[in-house]
Amino acid sequence: MTNIKAYLNEKAEVVNKALEKYFSGIKNCPDNLLEAMKYGTLSGGKRIRAILAMAAAEAVGKKGESVIKIACAAELIHNFSLIHDDLPCMDNDLTRRGKPTCHAKYGETLALLAGDALLIYAFEIALPESSNKLKDYLHFPLALRELAAASGPIGMVGGQVLDIEFSEKEKNISNLLHIHSMKTGALIRGSILAGAIAAGANKNELECLSEYGSNLGLTFQIVDDILDYNEGKKDKISFPAILGLEKSRQKALEATRKAFRAIEPLGEKGKILKEIANYLLEREI
């Protein structure tokens, strides 16, 4: 067995160093905007989406570092969403990861613009700097298209709209699954597919990874809901609020088993993805 915690820590460090490099490469940016962008991204986080992009590249036979630009793009998109989710017009949260949220520290206007800038910069860093480098990033535009789809109206943003608009009566298990497949699951699945596409995955590999990503996203959300529920956050509509804790745990376990089965055709190359899925499940179970 791989030491999964050591693997995750090692990959997170690679991602963090790359993110710091990309931020240092921003020139002529207002100091307060750059500071807020860095604060919203570098103030903690496990880099799960970025690591999944790298692990997917490894599962199709390439080095994870070969898709570091895509991995960092996924991470910037994720952190843009967190900054915006915390805003007063959304969840109005004042702390995240034990620290003041971006708007609590820098004000609502700058936080909004920092989130916008992270989303846009994600695509800038992942695209080739010049035409003579196009051949080195042959599959990256398609990978970025996957991230864009996962982030926009049929993905994360659309899921957030449904989460806001659905009444409590409408938040039954069917609608909850639909919301979170877009709001949370889409970017997890999109990060996996983007990493694999950037690494040159074939159609069969992408089909396996797509099914894996969909089920992993469900596991991730259910376990997050369980952790929140056990911490006393019982006033929101969640899987344990609707199904109860035991049925929620069972559903997370079932999703993880489906994720395992999906990548069986990848053989030994898919081992690390199985270990990541098991790690994410066992955060609570």
Mean pLDDT, the chain, whole residue set: 95
Written as six digits, the tokens of 240 are 């344990």
pLDDT digits over 180-195, tens only?
999 999 999 999 999 9
What percent of the chain lies above the pLDDT cut of 70? 99
Q: What's the whole-model pTM score?
A: 0.96
What percent of the chain lies above the pLDDT cut of 90? 88
**Cα gap 119→285, rounded to integer Å:** 33
pLDDT digits over 243-285, tens only?
999 999 999 999 999 999 999 999 999 999 999 999 999 986 5
Structure confidence at residue 2 (pLDDT): 61
- CA-nearest of 2, 1, 4, 3 to 281 is 4
**Three-state SS sequence of the chain:** CCCHHHHHHHHHHHHHHHHHHHHHCCCCCCHHHHHHHHHHHHCCCCCHHHHHHHHHHHHCCCCHHHHHHHHHHHHHHHHHHHHHHHCCCCCCCCEECCEECHHHHHCHHHHHHHHHHHHHHHHHHHCCCCHHHHHHHCCHHHHHHHHHHHHCCCCHHHHHHHHHHCCHHHCCHHHHHHHHHHHCHHHHHHHHHHHHHHCCCCHHHHHHHHHHHHHHHHHHHHHHHHHHHHCCCCCCCCHHHHHCHHHHHHHHHHHHHHHHHHCHHHHHHHHHHHHHHHHHHCCCC
Asked if residue 1 has pLDDT above 50, the reply is no
Query: What integer is the mean pLDDT of 117-126?
Result: 97
Structural domain spans, the chain: 4-281
Structure confidence at residue 131 (pLDDT): 76
* Amino acid at position 272, single letter: I
User: What topology is assigned to 4-281 in CATH?
Assistant: Farnesyl Diphosphate Synthase (1.10.600)
